[in-house]
Amino acid sequence: MAYSSIIKPSDFFNTKLYAGNGGTQAITGVEFQPDLVWLKARTSTEYQNWYDSQRGVTKRLVSNLTSAENTISGLTAFGTDGFTVGAADTANQNSNNYVSWNWKAGTSFTNDASGTGIGTIDSAGSVNTDAGFSIITFTGTGNAGSVAHGLGAIPKFLVVKSRSNVNGWIVYHVSLGAGKGISLNLVDASFSTGSRWNSTEPTSTVFSLGTAADVNRSGGTHVCYAFAEKQGYSKFGSYLGNGNSNGPYVYLGFKPAFLMIKDVTGTGEWLVWDNKRSPSNEMTRALAANDSLVEDTTKEMDFLSNGFKIRTTDTNYNASGNTNIFMAFAEEPFVASNYNVATAR
């Protein structure tokens, strides 16, 4: 049996819930200093807010919009055990409930492509090779090229967003391959493209870009969030819907803490479940990366000791014969290197 070397996944990814107070407050209990914080109001219609340590505090991107980066009193500081939020309604409205999904990178890097011979576009970033996560910033050239990601492993999931211009959020997923893309901000199906990933699969050192302005605008600034797969901690794959209330079971090799699913054949929301908003099965609480709506309490799902099980005919993620992609992070590996075995919820 293969074991996971990551005994405590919450050292690298954790979900934190909190209530807004309308002023300023430190959110603690994340268990590490986060480098990517994705915030969403659960009980009111508010934007999907993404902050990261590479771009800096108060610099917000919104995954349900195509807007350029803006400055807002949302996340105002990164702390050793969490972050601080200001008075912005999207992050801290009085009496509203929020969820934050937090990832750790933490080791800074820069790459002068001409000097190192790695890639063709200069980049800077923050990386965690143990957890397979990096944040990369770069300035586009408008010409096909490649960018160092720092992971030392092949990324299975990439999302690129223009910081300086109004453009969509473009996703690479290993199950689609470099000849296709899909937009995180839309419900649309995947599309064929050579102009986003240059029809070239990522390697253990670089990811490739074509000439499309949404990923590589000449003179435009961009950010990329890159994820490699780590046994017992993260998984990026796909499954076929069966249209039945006894839906598909998908093996992950761990008990999930976070799961995002998207139907890539038809239309469907980018639905997100986590182990904090729904601490027991049957889970029903989902949010969608592509919209600003309140938490949906009808999206049925079970988190199991080694995967997940769909419990609905909902066509967003279980349309018969449709392909669905997913990204998942662990609460607990099914079997860790210390021989601990995950238990069911």
Q: For 288-301, what is the mean pLDDT?
A: 97
Residue 343 has pLDDT above 90, yes or no: no
Q: For 170-178, what is the mean pLDDT?
A: 98
Q: For 129-142, what is the mean pLDDT?
A: 98
Of 103, 118, 141, which closes a domain?
103
Q: For 260-265, what is the mean pLDDT?
A: 98
Query: How far is it, in rounded angstroms, from Cα 128 to Cα 142?
Result: 29
Asked whether residue 253 falls in the same domain as residue 321, the answer is yes
Asked whether residue 207 falls in the same domain as residue 118, the answer is yes
Cβ within 8 Å of residue 136, ≥6 positions away? 54, 123, 124, 125, 147, 148, 149, 150, 223, 224, 225, 226
Q: Is there a domain that residue 311 lies in?
A: yes
- Measured in degrees and rounded to the nearest 5, phi and psi for residue 244 equal -115, 150
Asked whether residue 30 falls in the same domain as residue 128, the answer is no
pLDDT band at 5 (very low <50, low <70, confident <90, very high): confident
Q: Is there a domain that residue 119 lies in?
A: yes
Element (H, E) at 316: helix 315-318
Residue 1 has pLDDT above 50, yes or no: no
Asked whether residue 17 falls in the same domain as residue 95, the answer is yes
Asked whether residue 198 falls in the same domain as residue 133, the answer is yes
Asked whether residue 239 falls in the same domain as residue 179, the answer is no
Which pLDDT score, from 0 to 100, does residue 334 have?
62
pLDDT tens readout for residues 222-234: 999 999 999 999 9
Asked whether residue 286 falls in the same domain as residue 187, the answer is no
Which pLDDT score, from 0 to 100, does residue 107 have?
96
Torsion sign (Cα): 165, 167, 171, 177: negative
| CATH code at position 80 | 2.60.320
Residue 42 has pLDDT above 90, yes or no: yes
- Residue with structure tokens 């919450």? 10
Residue 213 has pLDDT above 60, yes or no: yes
Using CB atoms within 10 A of its CB, is residue 27 exposed (0-12), middle (13-18) or buried (19+)? buried
Which pLDDT score, from 0 to 100, does residue 110 have?
97
Asked whether residue 189 falls in the same domain as residue 281, the answer is no
Query: How far is it, in rounded angstroms, from Cα 161 to Cα 244?
Result: 36
Structure-block tokens of residue 196: 């986003």
Q: Is there a domain that residue 340 lies in?
A: no
Which pLDDT score, from 0 to 100, does residue 7 have?
87
Torsion sign (Cα): 283, 298, 49, 144: positive
pTM of the model: 0.96
Of 68, 103, 138, which closes a domain?
103
Element (H, E) at 190: none
Q: What is the C-alpha radius of gyration for the chain, rounded to an integer number of angstroms?
A: 19
CB 78 within 8 A of CB 34: yes
Q: Is there a domain that residue 343 lies in?
A: no
Q: How many CB atoms lie within 10 A of CB 341?
A: 12
Of 178, 206, 228, which closes a domain?
228
Query: How far is it, in rounded angstroms, from Cα 198 to Cα 121?
Result: 14
Provide the domain limits for residue 299: 234-333
Query: How far is it, in rounded angstroms, from Cα 59 to Cα 73?
Result: 9
Q: How many alpha carbons lie under 13 Å from residue 57 in its C-beta half-sphere?
A: 14
pLDDT tens readout for residues 146-162: 999 999 999 999 999 99
Which pLDDT score, from 0 to 100, does residue 333 have?
80
Structure-block tokens of residue 163: 């910081």
Q: For 7-23, what is the mean pLDDT?
A: 96
Q: For 235-259, what is the mean pLDDT?
A: 97
Q: Is there a domain that residue 222 lies in?
A: yes
CB 160 within 8 A of CB 222: yes
Q: Is there a domain that residue 342 lies in?
A: no
Residue 317 has pLDDT above 60, yes or no: yes
Q: For 119-132, what is the mean pLDDT?
A: 98
Tally of domains within the chain:
3
Asked whether residue 240 falls in the same domain as residue 260, the answer is yes
CB 12 within 8 A of CB 128: yes
Q: Is there a domain that residue 338 lies in?
A: no
Asked whether residue 190 falls in the same domain as residue 295, the answer is no
Q: What is the mean pLDDT of the chain?
A: 95
DSSP state of 113: H
Does a cis peptide bond (omega within 30 degrees of 0) precede residue 69?
Answer: no
Asked whether residue 261 falls in the same domain as residue 223, the answer is no
pLDDT tens readout for residues 277-289: 999 999 999 999 9
Q: Is there a domain that residue 168 lies in?
A: yes
For residues 340 and 291, which has the higher predicted lDDT (pLDDT)?
291
Asked whether residue 127 falls in the same domain as residue 99, the answer is no
Q: For 8-13, what is the mean pLDDT?
A: 96
